Structure 1
């Protein structure tokens, strides 16, 4: 089974080719189909901002490391007991790359994100097929294309971020980082009734994209005084909700200063393991009573993300599509930042045939 994988550990942005990480196609064995399993022929798999971190060795250095967890496709085989959700061969689907076991203590306590067996079905999705447990699989709405359907997983992250904000209708909201998660969170928070909705992003094209999709204001943190501009937008009160979707240590440092008293600040990205952010407890936790929280994965969010998906504007996030054979080029384009999202076409599946 052809699978996109890290074949050499190293930063994909390293200018030195001899030490740069490498992406290639590797033949992986196809897992056996268990009685409750679903085999999906993958149509599209999108590159996540976390994928280059795997090339850097964030989760281990034994290569090859299979990549991909944002995907859509068509069911081609079902285990003998994989019918409890009404799934059928030919269904157009997407899903959760993690299977929550439901039996460990964290799952029983309603904290599935800390499932002790969370990696059991975490299999690479930039491949020709993938085999998942039926609990991971969601049938796509008829109005959602396979191309847009591969964004179900990042949409679930945006929903999870919204959950963690505890937003109220009318709250002032700022989002730092205009990549895919920031753009999706912007659209989701707009649905919640966010006001003074602001995107903080240094790339002009991404600021413009945010304005097209519901931002009321944008801030260029490089060319403008971020604090003064936020003060102007919020009449000196600060934002009730501040979200970081950038993952940038440089970007997150000033976000606590634009938060209102009593605000919630959500760190919704992956950060370097060695990064430690100074925190003045007197200023931010005592005097301002800020609530600081983060997002790891998205339990309980997928059914609602599926409901939200048809209401999102996704064309700009799925405009850059490469074939599976061109995975190395696709990753080079991804790390260049030329597109907010890059998608791999893993199989050329006919939408009409798959929906029949």
Structure 2
């Protein structure tokens, strides 16, 4: 079978590898589509780990880092009872950097890492279930502190996660969703997905600073991981700022955040319950994944797809083996 494999930083190649056989508790998925995780793809191209201080060993396992995938069950290993051949399934969590990934025609999946999904959902509408689960984790943390319904909600960074956050905030009843991103095309997409306002945070006075006065944000999520973005929200949010983006620098949580009772949340634990809730949002139409897919390409055009991500001409790419 064909798979993408990084031989070195910036050197992904389409290679031929054997089709694997499932072991106990595993299924073999024939991949229908796999969506990019822009952070992972761009970091591997640059030779940088997603985790600060991490190290990447090249060559990477075949198919890595693809993990947002949907496919049909082609073969079943011993002990698998919940899936049969022909079932459609999507990965709800990344199986790890040491496992073969989904940029391939076939991939092995542990039964615990996949969920059955409807056959009538387009590939682009379900491949990124794993990302939907990830952002649901952040929303569950916010909901553990208090309700979202009836509150003004801010989203900073309108990449894939931010665009899902806009939709989830609406699904949970936010009275207004205010989206922030310097890229005009992404602001326009956010508006089409339910944002009430989409603003350029680099513009002077784009949103009021004083978080104690009426009209400010009650809740917010940062999807950039950039200190400047987090600090922007900390100055404008009353109750909760949740950090979804991978934070690689210090942020300023000081007296004015402390005395106002502001909660600053790091990222939580990925879990199947969050994946199941995300899947329900997708099935109901509250969470639309297809608009995040800017282009669908064959695996042979992987380099082209990553270049589109790098130049911000695409939000996500869906590759079809």
State the TM-score bracket (shorter-chain normalisation): 0.7 to 0.9
State yes or no: 1:279 paired with 2:253: yes
1-structure distance, mates of 2:195, 2:97: 39
- Structure 2 residue runs of 5 or longer lacking an equivalent are none
1:122 Cα deviation (Å)?
4.4
Aligned to 2:12: 23
Give the Cα separation in 2 of the matches to 1:328 and 1:220: 30
* Paired position in structure 2 for 1:113: none
1:2-13 paired onto structure 2 within 5 Å: 2-9=2-9
Distance in 2 of aligned mates of 1:163 and 1:204: 29
More moved, 304-313 vs 322-331? 304-313
Matched, 1:223 2:203: yes
Alpha-carbon contact 2:126-2:289 (below 8 Å) kept? no
Instruction: Say yes or no: does 1:198 pair with 2:178.
Output: yes
Aligned equivalent of 2:292: 317
Structure 1 residue 28 displacement after superposition: 4.8
Closer/same/farther in 2, CA of residues 221 and 191 from structure 1, 3 Å limit: same
Aligned pairs for 1:162-173 (under 5 A) are: 162-166=139-143, 167-168=146-147, 169-173=149-153
1:53 is matched with which residue?
A: 43
Matched, 1:307 2:280: yes
Going from structure 1 to structure 2, the CA distance change for 1:191 and 1:341 (only over 3 Å counts) comes to same
Q: Which runs of 5+ in 1 are unaligned?
A: 10-20, 100-118, 347-356
**1:177 paired residue number:** 157
- Shift of residue 123, structure 1, vs aligned partner: 3.3
Q: Distance in 2 between matches of 1:295 and 1:328?
A: 31
Name the CA shift for 1:147/1:304 in 2 (closer, same or farther; >3 Å): same
1:120: Cα distance to partner? Answer: 8.8
CA distances 1:31-81 after superposition (whole Å, capped 9, x unpaired):
441121110011111111321224433142211222111011111001131
Using the alignment, how far apart are the partners of 1:271 and 1:54 within structure 2?
18
> Is the 1:92–1:139 contact (alpha carbons within 8 Å) kept by the matching residues of 2?
yes
C-alpha distance in structure 2 between counterparts of 1:210 and 1:31, whole Å = 40
Counterpart among 234, 239, 242 of residue 266 in structure 1: 242
Q: For 1:277 and 1:208, how far apart are their aligned partners in 2?
A: 28
CA distance in 2 between partners of 1:88 and 1:292 (Å): 44
Query: 1:203 & 1:29 partners in 2: Cα distance?
Result: 42
Q: How many Å separate the matches in 2 of 1:296 and 1:331?
A: 28
| 1:329 is the counterpart of 2:304 | yes
Matched-pair contact (CA < 8 Å) for 1:121–1:133: no
- From 187, 203, 207, the equivalent of 2:167 is 187
**2:108 equivalent to 1:131:** yes
Shift of residue 254, structure 1, vs aligned partner:
1.5
CA separation of 1:334/1:98 partners in 2, compared to 1, >3 Å: closer, same or farther?
closer
- The alignment yields a C-alpha RMSD, in angstroms, of 2.3
Alpha-carbon distance between aligned partners in 1 of 2:19 and 2:228, rounded to the nearest angstrom: 42
Distance 2:5 2:236 in 1: 40
C-alpha contact 1:202 1:220 (8 A) present in aligned 2: yes
* Paired residues of 1:97 and 1:122 also in contact (CA < 8 A): no
Q: Residue 107 of structure 1 corresponds to which residue in structure 2?
A: none
> Is residue 2:88 matched to residue 1:92?
yes
